[in-house]
Amino acid sequence: MRTAEEAPPARVLIVDDQPLTRELMTLVIRAQGHKTLVATNGEEALAIAAARPLDLVILDVVMPGMDGFEVARRLRNDERTRNVPIIIVSMLEDKESRINGLAAGADDFLIRPVDRVELKVRVQNLLRLKRFQDELGAQNTILERKVELRTAELERSNRETIHTLIRAAAHRDDETGAHVKRMGLYATLLAHRLRLDEHFCAVIGFASQLHDIGKIGVPDRILEKPEALSGDEWKIMQTHTGIGGQMLALNSSPYLAMAADIARAHHERWDGSGYPRGLKGEKIPLAARITQLCDMYDTLRSWRPYKPAMDHAAAASSILAGDTKSLPSHFDPTLLAAFKVVMAEFRDVFETIRD
């Protein structure tokens, strides 16, 4: 076990209105190799304790002004001195003082007149305890810091992985990557409008960009065909949902878990008329419902070899009022209401991030 001599000197505050007691204690504690500070009353003691770190406080009970119990209570209630051990000095056989002292948060007691050996032993014990607590506290701080760093590192590498995937997804289907970028922004806009929590809003901004990653598994002849697809080709095209879901599902990252939901269900429709499973209503994960609406807006506004581009008003009306391309029953009504509020910002996104 470590002795007091090996440890750095501790700082002991002696609070007593009697000069003789202060001197005796100071001598004993200095002889143990520690530093001493003295206060003659409670106010002075609290001022010293607030100004510098202490390792131990020895408190007289009966003092003019604030008594020792009150000082102990205040030390215990102050964040800075909460863990500093306190020894209360009371009169012989004064049982009530001991009980009050304990209630006020004292760790140990000394009886007047103070015996040198007893003082020495009590001081030594409590300082050892304090040192142990300090070391434990320091270790905890180091551990917490390590965990924080590790979490930040994981977060960074997660994001890097996702950006790589997003580039891969864009490369396959969206030459400039503008469509997936817009998707991330639309989805974030809707999520914020729905007052979803910060985490959800941040994750969907990435995850929605991976909605079509499964197209990596769809043959070029189908993906790049300028004319309308045949029935069989269309079936193959639809497999991009399941392929994407599978690609992303085997992962513990929260980004990718949401991205897997989106990949699987971004062509499902609220009324059950979507694919691949014909899911209805809230059976479709919320992130996928959001992505579906965003994808519809962006698709309507984009030019394709087989269809002209719509302007903002036409695309919004197609979604909200319905036409040959889209019906309001395809979308979650809550999302339609949110879309109505933020659709001008959808237009800004589309017009700012061009193909």
Q: Residues interacting with Fe ion, by CB under 5 A?
A: 212, 295
The residues, any chain, with a CB within 8 Å of residue 259's CB and separated by 6 or more, are 162, 206, 207, 208, 210, 211, 213, 248
Q: What is the 3-state secondary structure (H, E, C) of 159-209?
A: HHHHHHHHHHHHHHHCCCCHHHHHHHHHHHHHHHHCCCCHHHHHHHHHHHH
Q: How far is the CB of 198 from Fe ion (least distance, A)?
A: 25
Q: How far is the CB of 287 from Fe ion (least distance, A)?
A: 14
Q: How far is the CB of 288 from Fe ion (least distance, A)?
A: 11
Q: How far is the CB of 211 from Fe ion (least distance, A)?
A: 6
Nearer to Fe ion, 86 or 213 (CB): 213
Nearer to Fe ion, 60 or 212 (CB): 212
| Token pair in block for residue 28 | 């004993």
Maximum C-alpha span of the chain: 104
Nearer to Fe ion, 101 or 205 (CB): 205
Place of tokens 């197209």: 215
Nearer to Fe ion, 170 or 343 (CB): 170
d(CA 158, CA 203): 11
Q: How far is the CB of 165 from Fe ion (least distance, A)?
A: 15
Q: Regarding beta strands 86-90 and 56-60, do their DSSP bridges make them parallel or antiparallel, or are they unpaired?
A: parallel
d(CA 232, CA 95): 93
Nearer to Fe ion, 261 or 295 (CB): 295
d(CA 175, CA 36): 74
Contact 350, 342 (CB under 8 A): no
Nearer to Fe ion, 70 or 233 (CB): 233
Nearer to Fe ion, 11 or 179 (CB): 179
| Token pair in block for residue 292 | 């579906």
Q: How far is the CB of 179 from Fe ion (least distance, A)?
A: 6
Considering only CA atoms, which of 173, 354, 211 is closest in space to residue 290?
A: 211
Nearer to Fe ion, 106 or 218 (CB): 218
Q: How far is the CB of 221 from Fe ion (least distance, A)?
A: 18
Q: How far is the CB of 332 from Fe ion (least distance, A)?
A: 18
Angle at 293 between CA 220 and CA 180, to 5 degrees: 45
